[in-house]
Structure 1
Amino acid sequence: MLAPYKTCLLIDDNYIDNFVTRRVLENSNFAEQIIVRQSPAEAINLLREATIKPDVIFLDVRMPLMSGFEFLEEYDKLLIDKKDIKIFMLSSSLDPTDMKESSGNKYITQFIHKPLTVKALEEICP
C-alpha cells in the first residue's frame, strides 16, 4: 500500500513522545519520509531554507523556548507555498484555551490529543 503522504514533519520537544508518534506513523505507512525535530526553531529554519516541503506537520503545543503557537506565528511569516500543508496540533494539553486557539488558527487542520493512535490517523487520511 502506498503512503498517502510524501513527507511528514513531527515537531515535539519530548523524545519519548517523538519515538511513540514516529512508530505509529511508520507502522501505519502514513508518509514516505518522517522528519522529526525537537526544536520548533530548527523546523522553521528547515522550512525557510526549503530543505524540506512537508505535506503534513504534527505540532506540539507546549514546548520550551518556542511554543506551537509561536511556531505558527513564525510559520505565517515564511515566504513558502502553504496551501497544501496540513498542520495537526498534537498535544496532551487539556487546556480549553489551547483547543480554542488552535481551532481559530487558519493553519491548523485539527487538534489531536496525544498519544497519536492508528484510529486518529485513519480519521485524517485522505
Structure 2
Amino acid sequence: MAEYYNTCLLIDDNYIDNFVTSKLLANCNFAQNIVVRQSPAEAIDSLRDGSVKPDVIFLDLRMPVMNGFEFLQAFDKLDIDKNNIKIFILSSSLDPTDIKKSFDNKYITQFIHKPLTKKILDELAP
C-alpha cells in the first residue's frame, strides 16, 4: 500500500506518546518518512535548516519550555513554504480555550484528541 504523505513530523515531549504514535503512523503507511522531535525548538531548527520538509505535522500543545502555540508563532516567522503543510493538533487537552485557539489559528487543519487511531488516520488521508 502506498503512503499517503511523503514526510510526517511528530512534535511531542512525551517519549511513550511518540513511540506509540510513530508506530501507528508506520503501520498505517501514513507517511514514507516519520520524523520525531521531542521539543518544538528542535522542530523549528529542523524546519529552518531544511533538514525536515514535512507534508504533515502532528503537534502537541502542552510541552515545557515552548508549547504548541509558541511553536506556531515561531513557525509563522519561518521563511519556508508553508502552503502545503497540514498541521494537526494532537493533544490530550480538554480545555475549551485550547480548542478555540487552535481553530482560530490559520495553520491548524484539525484538533485531534489523543490517542491517535487508525480510524482517524484513514479520515485524514488526502
Q: Tell me how far 1:92 sits from its aligned partner.
A: 0.4
Q: Tell me how far 1:109 sits from its aligned partner.
A: 0.2
Query: What does residue range 60-79 of structure 1 map to in structure 2 within 5 Å?
Result: 60-79=60-79
Residue 89 of structure 1 aligns with which residue? 89
Runs of 4+ in 1 over 3 A off after TM superposition: none
Amino acid at match of 2:88: F
Number of aligned residues: 126
Task: Indicate the SS of the match to 1:50.
Answer: coil
User: For residues 24 and 111 of structure 2, what CA distance do their matches in structure 1 show?
Assistant: 17
Q: Tell me how far 1:52 sits from its aligned partner.
A: 1.2
User: For residues 19 and 92 of structure 1, what CA distance do their matches in structure 2 show?
Assistant: 16
User: For residues 97 and 120 of structure 1, what CA distance do their matches in structure 2 show?
Assistant: 23
Residue 102 of structure 1 aligns with which residue? 102
Q: Tell me how far 1:25 sits from its aligned partner.
A: 0.3
User: For residues 122 and 4 of structure 2, what CA distance do their matches in structure 1 show?
Assistant: 11
User: For residues 123 and 34 of structure 2, what CA distance do their matches in structure 1 show?
Assistant: 19
User: For residues 111 and 89 of structure 1, what CA distance do their matches in structure 2 show?
Assistant: 5
Amino acid at match of 1:68: G
Counting aligned pairs with the same residue, the percent is 71
Residue 114 of structure 2 aligns with which residue? 114
**Any gaps of 5 or more consecutive residues in structure 1?**
none
Task: Indicate the SS of the match to 1:66.
Answer: coil
TM-score by length of structure 2 reads 0.99
Within the alignment, does 1:23 sit opposite 2:23 as a pair?
yes
TM-score by length of structure 1 reads 0.99
Q: Tell me how far 1:23 sits from its aligned partner.
A: 1.1
Give the RMSD, CA atoms, in angstroms.
0.5
User: For residues 73 and 119 of structure 1, what CA distance do their matches in structure 2 show?
Assistant: 30
Q: Tell me how far 1:81 sits from its aligned partner.
A: 0.2
